[in-house]
Amino acid sequence: MRQKTALSRPLLRLLQVSLLAAILLVWYWVSRNDNVAFFFGRPIQVAEVIWAWFVTDASVYPHLWITLSETVLAFIIGTAGGLAFGLWLGLSRGASALLEPYVTAANSMPRVILAPIFGMWFGLGIWSKVALAVTLVFFIVFFNVYRGVREVSPTLLDNARMLGATPSQLLRHVYVPSATSWVFSSLHTSVGLAFVGAVVGEYLGSAAGVGYLILQAEGTLDVNTVFAGIVVLTIFALILDGLVSLAERRFLVWQPGPGAADKT
């Protein structure tokens, strides 16, 4: 029997838009007080800054291109490295036993402290920011892939071996599909972390990027520009997350939809 407990998609979207409108209205109302506006800015002035960045002055595009380049490069490199290392360590019991304490120690390290070191190694260009962001993305993907490989059903493996599956066939048809859902669950978090790494790197040393614009605005106590930068970064992070969701639906077509369980 199907239970109609979930909201319909149009109603859900309407409620989401209404919630956003309510937040903006509250922000507008409380920011009429100058003391509040000093710390939180005014939504209209934030919108004016964004409009000037993209339309009037069109000055944000070079900075946005740099930040997005750093983010996408870190996302791709960190994901590929985490996927490869996670598969290898998940399949190799000996290497896993040997390297596990070192991987755990590296993951426990506050990666932000590596930013000055990466600046010394790679300079103040984009690659020092990419390196910092890669360290954030890598471990998220690695641990999810590692867990996905380790949680493959032994019964499924035994049945595949009885049918004559080779190690390469096991990797392609058993281990990789098992890890794929874990990978995509980590990618949604990795998008935000890639942005964090890029922006933090720009904070610590750069001459361009959206993080650089926010840092300059903070230096002059221009809170409206700070919030404009936050809004722009958030929007583009949501866009990248949406692209990950599209890829997830494309590659995980074998999984049941979210409402499949209600149809039984």
Please check whether residues 23 and 152 belong to one and the same domain.
Answer: no
Please check whether residues 66 and 14 belong to one and the same domain.
Answer: no
Please report the pLDDT score of residue 263 as a whole number.
Answer: 46
Low-confidence stretches of the chain (pLDDT beneath 70)? 1-6, 151-159, 163-164, 167, 169, 171-173, 179, 251-264
Cα distances (angstroms) measured from residue 138 to each of 107, 185, 188: 9, 14, 13
Please check whether residues 33 and 65 belong to one and the same domain.
Answer: no
Please check whether residues 127 and 222 belong to one and the same domain.
Answer: yes
**Each residue of 158-182: b (16+ CB within 10 Å) or e?**
eebeeeebeeeebeeebbbebbbbb
- When divided into structural domains, the chain yields a total of 2
Please check whether residues 221 and 245 belong to one and the same domain.
Answer: yes
Q: Give the residue numbers spanning the domain of 238.
A: 41-256
CB 168 within 8 A of CB 197: no
d(CA 66, CA 92): 38
Please report the pLDDT score of residue 8 as a whole number.
Answer: 81
Our measurement of the distance from residue 84's CA atom to the centroid of its chain's CA atoms, rounded to an integer in Å, reads 19
Our separate counts of H helices and E strands in the chain read: 12, 0
d(CA 11, CA 184): 27
Please report the pLDDT score of residue 50 as a whole number.
Answer: 92
Please report the pLDDT score of residue 6 as a whole number.
Answer: 64
Please report the pLDDT score of residue 1 as a whole number.
Answer: 43
Which CATH number covers residue 117?
1.10.3720.10
CB 137 within 8 A of CB 78: yes
Torsion 124-129-130-135 (CA) sign = positive
2 occurs within a structural domain: no
Please check whether residues 160 and 201 belong to one and the same domain.
Answer: yes
Please check whether residues 21 and 61 belong to one and the same domain.
Answer: no
Spell out the alpha helix ranges (H) of 163-209. 167-170, 176-204
Residue 122: CB partners within 8 Å, gap ≥ 6?
A: 128, 131
Please report the pLDDT score of residue 260 as a whole number.
Answer: 46
Please report the pLDDT score of residue 227 as a whole number.
Answer: 92
Please report the pLDDT score of residue 262 as a whole number.
Answer: 46
Question: What single DSSP character describes residue 139?
Answer: H
Please check whether residues 88 and 33 belong to one and the same domain.
Answer: no
